[in-house]
Chains A and B, each alone.
Chain A
């Protein structure tokens, strides 16, 4: 890197380097469905069982997630995490998720519906 640091290209490096880094982070921050598959193991206990019903606070069948809109799943998880959307077990589940976890999980569940 010595040649670069002392070359006439240095201003360009300083100008565009941060942009290049920001772009690469941007790419990495997209949801990864393969990573999401591993991260949904804790979801599968309820959402991975067909017609599974929760009993508290009310008895009803948990939502199907396969094929759901990706940005909707991400929003739901962010809202559970912040407490804007309230459900005791889902708030507990979402509390441990990072932004990247949420994107990966949303990408995974967005697959798998019928067209």
Chain B
């Protein structure tokens, strides 16, 4: 017997986790595209205006740091300050995870 009962339970549990993660990601994607997409472009890959950064593939920790800095005003930007103000810590984490997981920016040597 290669598959024990424990293994079946483990596989089922991990599948359930994958499904719920995918659902969460869809919600985040919608929120990101509605809130941030109009300036930063679809997936944060194609900014609509000059002097607007790409977000696709940016470092997760840097995105969190930036959004928190905009929210608390330590990084000054009237536009981004207003956008970040209503975000909860959980929102910031989700949005940062979404944009950092898109393909785009790379480390340039």
Contact = CB atoms under 8 A, between A and B. Distances in A.
A47 B54 contact: no
Interface of B: 47, 50-54, 57-62, 64-65, 74-76, 103-109
A75 B47 CA distance: 15
Interface of A is mostly: loop
A89 interface: no
Contacts of A74: 51
Q: Which size bracket describes the interface of A in this complex?
A: 20 to 34
A74 B106 CA distance: 18
Contacts of A49: 107
A49 B60 CA distance: 16
Interface in A34-93: 40, 44, 47-51, 53, 58-69, 71-72, 74-75, 84-86
Contacts, number: 88
Contacts of B75: 85-86
A28 B46 CA distance: 27
A112 B57 CA distance: 12
Given A44-B109, A113-B105, A113-B106, A69 B61 contact: no
A64 B105 contact: yes
Contacts of B50: 69, 71-72
Of all A-B residue pairs in the complex, the 4 with the closest CB atoms, nearest first, are: A66-B108, A66-B106, A60-B61, A61-B59
Contacts of B59: 51, 60-64
Contact of B58 (A59, A64, A84): A64
Given A66-B105, A71-B51, A112-B106, A58 B58 contact: no
B74 A67 contact: no
Contact of A72 (B52, B62, B64, B104): B52
